[in-house]
Structure 1
Amino acid sequence: MGYLRDIVKGVSWLGGLKAISRAIAFAKTAILARVLIPAQFGLFGIASLVLELLEILTETGVNVVLMQEKKNMDTYINTAWIFSIARGFLISIVILLASPVIVVFFKSPDAYRLLYLMAVVPIIRGFINPSVVKLVKELKFKREFTFRLSIFIFDTLVAVSAALITHSAASIIYGLIAGAILEVILSYIIVKPRPRVTFEKEKLQEIVNRGKWLTGAGIFNYFFQHGDDIVVGRILGTYPLGIYQVAYRISTLPITEVSDVVGKVTFPVYVKISGEKKRLTQAFFKTLGGVCLLVIPFGALLFLFPREIINVTLGSNWLEAASVLKVLAIFGVIKAISNTVFAVLLSLGKQKYVTLITFVGILGLGVSILPLVRAYGIVGAGISALIGAIVAIPAAIYALRKSLEEVK
């Protein structure tokens, strides 16, 4: 039962981290919602959509590969770091070059400045020490707690302070930049080895080869998570996009963060018992039950009292989000529960199944998003996201069953 103690310990620390950080995030969103208008949130949403897409397109899955490595992961650190730096500069250059096209696509010339500012973020993040993955891999959850919470608090303080002073959407990006700088500094202080300027082509090829399915899954997952944002921003504009993204954030943060914490904790534990079918199966179903007990009450609360929650957290100016919040609450619960299979699949090296599940979900979203948004606005976008989550469930069940059958 050692794995269960590790899971409980990890959930305690990372659960505490997520609980505190989400409480701060709610406070941050509430303050910013009273300082900024929905259209400004929409402008930031455009810039963040672009950054995240480019990060996903250039993702090698290096962190997961390092977590899966059962021998000496230190031999990959230098190569991973050099690649990360190059990737950061590449993303920044593409953002700058693509800005005119992005502005025309979203019909939002005010997004120019935010895109230029957002281009700074990937350059800074590129210098983060890849060794930080050891904090979770080696189950050092207390240090991970301190590390992540420090970054999040600093990001929030800078963003809120800048918003109160400037009343600009750029304040949120100032917070991201500040958080990235602190993350780089701390990554060299709290964990070793520190990377050196050496590069091994063979190591990079191995990382890319092992992580190629994760790259595909990441691309599909991006469009599953943000396809609705893109369509809302393109068809309805920045104001509805701001309303929708904030509603999405409120509805999914307390729910999906639970499954994210559990997934992060269980992944290294599952890796350790990946050769023992009975223990792995028991661990998964206990985890699934725990996630259900946590997320369903949260979802019910959001579904039953959407106007009250929005009025308290954001203020009366954001009550338009109440109708879509009910739909997104159901989406969040289903997504959180179904996502529990990913940690098992990754622990068994079944990245291709993660890609398959995400692809099925994006098909459901892609087929329904345009007609539903045109007919029902942001509520239609929420319904489309829900459809995508539902149609992915059979694929998740199939992948889990197939993978466990192959364990001896």
Structure 2
Amino acid sequence: MRDSDPADHFRTDHLVGDIAGRSIRGGAVTVGAQVLKIVMQFGVTIVLARLLKPEAFGLVAMVAVVLTFLETFKDLGLSAATVQREAITHQEVSTLFWVNAGLGVVAALLMVPLAPLLAWFYGEPELVGITLALGVGFALSGLSTQHLALLRRQMRFSTLASIQMGAEIIGMAVALVAAYEGASYWALILQRIVWAACMALGGWIFCRWRPGRPGRLSQVRSLLGFGGYVTGSNLASLFVRNMDQVLIGWYWGATPLGLYDRAYKILLLPINNLNAPLFSVAMPALSRLAGEPERYRRTYLGMVEKLSMVTMPCAALLVAAPDLVVRLLFGPQWVAATPIVGWLGLAALYQPVSYTCSWLFMTQNRTSEMFRWGLISSGLLAVSIVAGLPFGAEGVAASFALSGIFVRMPALFWAVGRSGPVRSLDIVRTMIPSIVASALAVLAILALRRLPVFDAATLGPALALVGAVAAAVTLICFSSLPQSRRALADFRAMAGSLFPRRINA
């Protein structure tokens, strides 16, 4: 990025001509980096699960609910506003920078009175120190919110991936060393603080834009309105979606919460993490195509189709063989998490696609509708969590998964498809091949597990056999359906664009 022209940090006109190519290349880079991140997180989680007790994860999980809530408050949806806006100025971004920096400090200060309240609520005195220490990350991350948003707006995905991977690697390394040295839950706290510091440093190093003096808030009223609706929707959703961990910790204690927290992270977060890089690609790409309805529709549905083809069969594997996954990744001391993993695997079938609906609301500037739907969805989810709580962590997981399939997801598709280029039936039709393939994969795995030869297999070969059967059934199904055959051809074309063959003269 040239320093001679500050406007270069905000221009997007040069992106539109090759929006498809940039999206493919950017998607490959960000998804590839995210997959590598997930693999590393799996490995680190496995090691930490053997170095730390479930209570350590449970204690940090009790504070993590508040962290997620305040992280959304600190952003205030202003990073998305910077990416979505067709034209934006240096003064506007400078004002948003100082708003985000101030909110980061406010979030850190809010952790001071919250620390004793959390310790009293859960009956865990250790939460005072944990809460105060974790608040440091907010002040750090607020300083780079707009720098990272400008990198996304410019679709500089390789740079973003480098920053994120560097922060993850350094944070994980610190956590592993600390856990090995007997730091207990402090290893997890250090990981988050170091990650936030590295992200802030990387944002300032790789984005050479520097903020100026803030302007009047009235000059960015529309941006604040956009971000406010996004934040309101996200906060309502986060409050209720984290209610499960709050209530399990309060009602059943740290050990059941530790089991639930590990099951949730090992299943939903790796799959949901794919939504984060895809959002980074989809938000600028769809925002630039908002004035071309048919091209917008094709682009969105193409993303949803490929996302469901990748994630739904993986979730089906977890539904059909949760015991094998738990035994391999966590060891015998975590066997009680098996039914939780199975139910959350069912939720993982639809979660990634349902999250993409937020892309439609935001890129079509329908954030007020997104806010209203967030309130309705949060109410439905709260009812399901309370209904499952008397039956333990497994009951909460089952209620969460089933209510999503039969109530929340259909209602969300109806809400987002009421207007705009993408209709509800478009989304459903796009998912059908993946639904069929996943169902057949589950049936094939269940049939395989009834064979006597499977009982004789050890853990590693058994899981490899289950994975091979699921992959084979999925590929056969996709190859047999015309719609998914075209998607497979798109995958091959994407690979060809990334790795073109050299043609000798």
TM-score, normalized by the shorter chain, greater than 0.5: yes
What SS does structure 2 have at the residue aligned with 1:368?
Answer: helix
2 CA distance for matches of 1:167 and 1:253? 25
1:165 and 2:181 are equivalent in the alignment = yes
1 CA distance for matches of 2:384 and 2:359? 28
What are the superposed Cα offsets for residues 133-162 of structure 1, whole Å, 9 maximum, x if unpaired? 122211111111111111111111111111
Q: 1:59 to 1:262 in 2, by over 3 A?
A: closer
Mean Cα displacement is larger for which, 193-202 or 291-300? 193-202
**2:270 alignment partner in structure 1:** 254
**1:148 alignment partner in structure 2:** 164
**1:52 alignment partner in structure 2:** 68
Q: 1:259 to 1:125 in 2, by over 3 A?
A: closer
Q: 2:282 aligns with which of 244, 266, 271?
A: 266
**2:311 alignment partner in structure 1:** 295
2 CA distance for matches of 1:93 and 1:131? 23
**2:395 alignment partner in structure 1:** 380
Mean Cα displacement is larger for which, 124-133 or 176-185? 124-133
Q: 1:395 aligns with which of 394, 411, 419?
A: 411
1:99-178 correspondence to structure 2 within 5 Å:
99-128=115-144, 130-178=146-194
What are the superposed Cα offsets for residues 219-274 of structure 1, whole Å, 9 maximum, x if unpaired? 12212431111111111111111110110011113322233332321121111111
Mean Cα displacement is larger for which, 312-321 or 22-31? 312-321
1 CA distance for matches of 2:198 and 2:277? 22
Asked whether the 8 Å contact 1:91–1:119 carries over to 2, the reply is yes
What SS does structure 1 have at the residue aligned with 2:144?
Answer: coil
Q: 1:21 aligns with which of 32, 37, 44?
A: 37
2 CA distance for matches of 1:184 and 1:160? 22
Asked whether the 8 Å contact 1:291–1:337 carries over to 2, the reply is yes
Shift of 1:405: 5.3
**1:95 alignment partner in structure 2:** 111
2 CA distance for matches of 1:253 and 1:361? 20
1:212 and 2:205 are equivalent in the alignment = no
Q: Which has the higher contact order (CA 8 A, sep 6+)?
A: 1
Shift of 1:281: 1.3
Shift of 1:387: 4.0
1 CA distance for matches of 2:254 and 2:71? 22
The one-letter code sitting in structure 1 at the alignment partner of 2:109 is I
**1:194 alignment partner in structure 2:** 210
Q: 1:331 aligns with which of 347, 351, 355?
A: 347
Shift of 1:406: 9.9
Asked whether the 8 Å contact 1:295–1:333 carries over to 2, the reply is yes
Q: 2:382 aligns with which of 366, 371, 380?
A: 366
Shift of 1:58: 4.7
What SS does structure 2 have at the residue aligned with 1:193?
Answer: coil
2 CA distance for matches of 1:21 and 1:240? 27
What SS does structure 2 have at the residue aligned with 1:403?
Answer: coil
What SS does structure 2 have at the residue aligned with 1:198?
Answer: coil
**1:39 alignment partner in structure 2:** 55
2 CA distance for matches of 1:74 and 1:392? 40
Shift of 1:188: 1.3
**2:438 alignment partner in structure 1:** none
Asked whether the 8 Å contact 2:312–2:348 carries over to 1, the reply is no
1:320 and 2:320 are equivalent in the alignment = no
2 CA distance for matches of 1:406 and 1:28? 40
1 CA distance for matches of 2:55 and 2:240? 23
Asked whether the 8 Å contact 2:116–2:127 carries over to 1, the reply is no
Shift of 1:298: 0.9
Asked whether the 8 Å contact 2:83–2:149 carries over to 1, the reply is yes
Q: How many residues align?
A: 406
1 CA distance for matches of 2:404 and 2:352? 10
What SS does structure 1 have at the residue aligned with 2:184?
Answer: coil
The runs of at least 4 consecutive aligned structure 1 residues that moved more than 4 Å come to: none
**1:350 alignment partner in structure 2:** 366
- Percent sequence identity is 21
Asked whether the 8 Å contact 2:91–2:215 carries over to 1, the reply is no
1:77 and 2:93 are equivalent in the alignment = yes
Q: Which runs of 5+ in 2 are unaligned?
A: 1-16, 424-505
What are the superposed Cα offsets for residues 178-201 of structure 1, whole Å, 9 maximum, x if unpaired? 111122222111012122453433
Mean Cα displacement is larger for which, 270-279 or 55-64? 55-64
The one-letter code sitting in structure 1 at the alignment partner of 2:364 is L
What are the superposed Cα offsets for residues 92-127 of structure 1, whole Å, 9 maximum, x if unpaired? 221111222211212222212211211211122222
1 CA distance for matches of 2:353 and 2:319? 17
Q: 2:298 aligns with which of 273, 276, 282?
A: 282
2 CA distance for matches of 1:357 and 1:386? 19
What SS does structure 2 have at the residue aligned with 1:280?
Answer: helix
The one-letter code sitting in structure 2 at the alignment partner of 1:117 is A
Q: Which runs of 5+ in 1 are unaligned?
A: none
CA-atom RMSD in angstroms? 2.0
Q: 1:173 to 1:71 in 2, by over 3 A?
A: same
2 CA distance for matches of 1:406 and 1:259? 19
1 CA distance for matches of 2:154 and 2:304? 23
What SS does structure 1 have at the residue aligned with 2:87?
Answer: coil
Shift of 1:360: 3.1
Normalising by the residue count of structure 1, what TM-score does the alignment of the two structures yield? 0.94
**2:451 alignment partner in structure 1:** none
Mean Cα displacement is larger for which, 302-311 or 29-38? 302-311
1:243 and 2:259 are equivalent in the alignment = yes
